[in-house]
Amino acid sequence: MSPLGVPVPELAWKPPGGAPQIAQPVDLKLPALQFPDGAEATEADAQIVGAYVYRLGVAGEELWNETEQRWTEVPAELGALPPLPLTYKAGDPFPWQGMLVAIGQKDKDDNPRFQPAAGGAPRYRLRAFARFQRDGVEFSGLSAPSPELQFVDAQQSERFKVLMDPEDPQQVEEIKLALKNASLAEAGYLKISTRGGQQVEIANCDASGNPLASVLLQADGSIRLRPAAGRNIVLGGDLEAQRIRYLSSDGITVKDLA
């Protein structure tokens, strides 16, 4: 077996410049590979050309084992495992090309193979592998690791959300319109529900997304105003009412204001 120089795979995704979105594929490319004498190693000589996918997390570095359909320890001999394949496109400056699709991929236990990063983990990277045979001699090589990938879920990073429960538009019983702050915690929401009667709730939230004050239009037509704990309802104009009922200082007796 003779050594073969293999460069680090070039990675690209959309939109460029941002973190890779888990719902968007990552393109992989390699420039032309060369035998030690400078001749190009082409498709005609190829036995395997691809990329191995690694995961870095709390368990250390693991390799995606396509044969076993799970993440495993990195074996001493990689060539026995099938890599993510790269195909040859003659005439292209980067003729070896492939695609890493993260969304919807599952392991043998039906768990997601790739996940968005939380707290910096998991992280992924790739190493290109190639094995050619020419004139009865085998040449192989493994690249250095690519830059790390930390996937993001674009839906989780959206500031404005419309949620339906259930999600079927023909069966939906409750909708919630919410706006998130820069930390992606809810700043406030509007909720319309038909469960147990038709009612509407409007609320604002603190910096962590916990509800503060709310206005509830109840199913019987009454209106409930609820300020945050220790806060007041302040009217900036005249108050007109047919009757005012209040709870006396004993916390038990309900009285009418004469």
- pLDDT by residue (tens digit) across 156-207? 667 888 889 998 889 999 999 999 888 778 899 999 999 989 999 999 999 9
CA 230 to chain centre: 39
What's the pTM value of the predicted model, to 2 decimals? 0.65
Backbone phi, psi, residue 43, to 5°: -60, -35
Measured from the Cβ of residue 18, the count of other Cβ atoms closer than 10 Å reads: 10
Kindly indicate the confidence band of residue 52, based on its pLDDT and cuts at 50, 70 and 90. very high
**Paired residues of 191 in beta bridges:** 176, 201
**Distance from C-alpha of 149 to C-alpha of 178, rounded to nearest angstrom:** 30
pLDDT at 108 over 90: yes
State the DSSP H helix or E strand holding residue 49, giving kind and residue range, or none if neither. strand 46-57
Closest CA to 183 of 148, 163, 156: 156
Rounded to whole angstroms, the Cα distance separating 65 from 51 reads: 12
Which pLDDT band holds residue 1 (cuts at 50, 70, 90)? confident
